[in-house]
Chains A and B, each alone.
Chain A
Amino acid sequence: DIQMTQSPSSLSASVGDRVTITCRASQGISNYLAWYQQKPGKVPKLLIYAASTLQSGVPSRFSGSGSGTDFTLTISSLQPEDVATYYCQKYNSAPHSFGQGTKLEIK
């Protein structure tokens, strides 16, 4: 099975910073890569699908890039409401594995 590895596992940044989270697949998955945001005690929310397509209603400071095995999620200007854990997910074929998560905090 394809493994999804995120880095870093945790991250502390200041408001206004540019933040980047990476996700690596152990084999190529084309563009079948999604990013989710989960705030404490809340349901996961789809941010980006097809590696770089912003889900409707998601602020434009979020962006995604990559293809094949290496992907990134970027927050262009970190806001206090972005405190959350972020997960990548492959969904080209089962199992639709998630990365282990990146916990983002405000410095």
Chain B
Amino acid sequence: EVQLVESGGGLVQPGRSLRLSCAASGFTFDDYAMHWVRQAPGKGLEWVSGISWNSGSTGYADSVKGRFTISRDNAKNSLYLQMNSLRAEDTALYYCARRGLYRYSAFDIWGQGTMVTVSS
């Protein structure tokens, strides 16, 4: 079964750091670009960051640029999001998502999400 499982969320104080992980299974992880998408409570979807299959290309939303770092370990079938200098507005459910293989493929597989709460 194709699956993405996020972990690492929790309650953290403003200004502190947190590292999210996403474990992939059921597909050839290193063939695919991967992304993080978040959703604040009661709000819409916000794309956060993405990384190419070989880590050669990364991208970030302006809201997290300079604070968050995306990475992957293809040997471990894992995606990561290092979140530094966390703010209250980073409170959200964080999903990892797979982008399909082909030129016009979109985000076809999503994890269940891991909740991050930034509060003192």
Residues of A participating in the B interface, judged by any CB pair closer than 8 Å: 1, 31-32, 34, 36, 38, 43-46, 49-50, 53, 55, 85, 87, 89, 91, 93-101
Contacts and interface: CB of A to CB of B under 8 A. Distances in A.
Contacts of A55: 108
Assign chain B's interface to a size class. Answer: 20 to 34
Contacts, number: 65
Interface of B: 35, 37, 44-47, 50, 59-62, 95, 99-100, 104-108, 110-113
Interface of A (DSSP majority class): loop
A98 B59 contact: no
B94 to A, nearest CB: 12
18 contacts: A1-B62, A32-B104, A38-B45, A43-B110, A43-B112, A44-B45, A44-B110, A45-B110, A46-B106, A49-B106, A50-B104, A50-B106, A85-B44, A94-B50, A94-B59, A96-B59, A97-B47, A101-B45
A105 to B, nearest CB: 16
